[in-house]
């Protein structure tokens, strides 16, 4: 989950 939060940018 933390992967998504940190990498929600393109």
Number of neighbours of residue 10 by Cβ within 10 angstroms = 3
Compute the least distance from the CB of residue 5 to another protein, in Å: 9
What is the size of the binding site for another protein (CB under 8 A)? 7
Smallest gap from Cβ 9 to another protein, in A, equals: 7
Q: What is the DSSP string of 1-10?
A: -HHHHHT---
Name residues contacting another protein, limited to 1-10 (CB under 8 A): 3-4, 6-10
Q: Which residues bind another protein (CB under 8 A)?
A: 3-4, 6-10
């Amino acid at each position: 989950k933390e992967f998504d939060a940190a990498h929600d940018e393109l």
